[in-house]
Structures are given as structure tokens and as C-alpha cells.
Amino acid sequence: MSGCEWVIEAHGCDEESLRDQAKLTHLFDSLIAGMSLHAVEEPSWHKFPGPGGMTGLCLLAESHLACHTFPEYQSMCLNIFCCRPRPDWDFAAYLTAQFAAAKVCVRKIERPYGQS
């Protein structure tokens, strides 16, 4: 048995969208629904002062979903860990459409539980 972790970087994003908690909450909601995940409580968000970005964390029955935005670099970093295999989700299409990402890099890491 193994889990799966996705590490996603989006670059060239619209700066204001990276500060928009409602837009980021919608991202979490879309990921949770689209990947058939189960939040165990509401996400926690922190807005950094001034022109800073946001950090969000959602605990899942399957593990966690985290997001960090950097408007000053027009970038977003996402991390999703699931304790069981999940179907892939079209991160690039969503982040391009909703955050105007010019480039999206998705790395998928298998996380085996037993020794090899």
C-alpha cells in the first residue's frame, strides 16, 4: 500500500488573485470535490500583512492540503498528500484559468508505507 503526494508550483500568476482568500478557498473546495477528498474541519488561513500572500492548510481524512502564495513573485505552491492513491487532477488547467498561471509544474510522488 502507498500514498501519493503532489507538489505543484504555479508561476506568472495574477498578484491580486494570490491575496484573495475567497479565490483560494474555492481552489481548496474544487480540489477536495474533484479528488474525492474529505476535509475533517474548515481550512485555516493566514494573510500576511501589506502586499504579502496567504498560507492555507486543510486537514483531510486522507492527510492534508497546503497552499502558500507569494504575490511578490507571482507564484503559488501547493502540496497535497493522500494516504491512498487518487486519480490525477488537472492542476494546470485550473491554475491557468483561475489564477492566470503562465507555467505550472506538477510533481507526483508515490509514498510507499512498507520497506522496499
Kindly report the pTM of this predicted structure: 0.92
Mean pLDDT over all residues of the chain?
A: 94
Catalytic positions, written as ranges: 63, 68, 83
* Number of independent structural domains in the chain: 1
- The residue-averaged pLDDT of 80-100 equals 93
Q: Which domain holds residue 16?
A: 2-112
State the Cα–Cα distance between residues 62 and 60, nearest whole angstrom. 5
| CATH number assigned to the domain comprising residue 79 | 3.60.90.10
The pLDDT value recorded for residue 113 is 78
DSSP, collapsed to helix, strand or coil, labels residue 22 as: helix
Q: Find cell 475533517 and name the residue.
A: 40
